[in-house]
Amino acid sequence: MTLIRTIEFEALSDERGGLVSIEQNNNIPFDIKRVYYIFDTQSNVSRGFHSHKNLQQVAICMKGSCRFVIDDGVSREEVILNKPTVGLYIDNNKWREMHDFSEDCILVVIASDFYDESDYIRDYSVFLKGINCDS
């Protein structure tokens, strides 16, 4: 099973430019409750290093690039996001890290729920214990 699940968005492009439409339960596989974005990134500063108990998300790099690592507690896979037409689906119970941000990166994240710090697991050993309890 691959840990990297990307979604290709249809681009409605013409001589004026491109347009992508995002719709819940259509090209996004959940009800959308929140959208946030990350910008002013630095190439030597990584982010993430957590999993979510329940949250599902789709991350889209609207500008620039960054590298995501997805880890299910058994294996780790990575992908470079650098297109506004590709989203990375990040399921719950997956450890994620974001590295190698370009300085012009704008990363938009579409989320299935509101911000809730109690949904985060920010300690890798706690994440691994949770995965091993479930299996």
Catalytic machinery residues = 50
Among 47, 67, 83, 99, binds ligand T46 (CB under 6 A): 47
Six-digit token string for 134 = 């479930």
Chain-centroid distance of CA 80 in Å reads 11
Among 7, 20, 22, 38, binds ligand T46 (CB under 6 A): 38
Q: How many Cβ atoms are within 10 Å of 25's Cβ, its own excluded?
A: 9
Does the protein bind ligand T46 through residue 115 (CB under 6 A)? yes
Please name which of 75, 64, 91 lies closest in space to residue 7, comparing C-alpha atoms. Answer: 91
Nearest approach, Cβ of 119 to ligand T46 (angstroms)?
Answer: 8
Nearer to ligand T46, 15 or 40 (CB): 40
Nearer to ligand T46, 19 or 123 (CB): 123
Please name which of 105, 91, 114, 94 lies closest in space to residue 33, comparing C-alpha atoms. Answer: 114
Candidates 14-22, 23-31, 33-41, 69-77 — which segment interacts with ligand T46 by CB under 6 A? 33-41
Question: Given CA atoms 120, 126, 132, 134 in this order, what sign does their dihedral have?
Answer: negative
Pairwise CA distance, residues 7 & 121, whole Å: 25
Nearest approach, Cβ of 99 to ligand T46 (angstroms)?
Answer: 11
Nearer to ligand T46, 35 or 74 (CB): 35
Six-digit token string for 40 = 């002013």
Q: State which of positions 58-77 bind ligand T46 (CB under 6 A).
A: 59
Binding site for ligand T46 (CB under 6 A): 34, 36, 38, 47-48, 57, 59, 96, 109, 115
